[in-house]
A = this chain, B = another copy of it.
């Protein structure tokens, strides 16, 4: 199955990248953009999607400071 893993800073964790983007946007004429957070996107073909959470905990995300979310990829929604 092809899956997407979205990794983002945990709520309350400093997210300097998100802040930097939020501060840069007004200068480009994009006003009013709020709550910007920058994280990672990992896309992968996995033989056994049931093992994705473990893979996230151990490698793809840092559970101390990041949350992750597993999204089956739309075009490939059916189990591999």
Chain B residues positioned under 8 Å from A43 (CB to CB): 8, 35-37, 39
- Interface status of A64 (Cβ within 8 A of chain B): no
Which of A7, A33, A47 counts the most chain B CB atoms within 10 A? A33
Copies of this chain, complex-wide, total 2
What's the nearest-Cβ distance from chain B to residue A24, in Å?
Answer: 6
- Interface status of A46 (Cβ within 8 A of chain B): yes
Q: Mark A35-60, 1 if CB is under 8 A from B, else 0.
A: 11111111111111001001100111
A-B contacts besides A4-B6, A36-B42, 13 pairs, CB < 8 Å: A2-B35, A6-B41, A21-B59, A21-B60, A28-B58, A30-B54, A33-B55, A34-B44, A35-B44, A37-B44, A38-B42, A40-B40, A41-B41
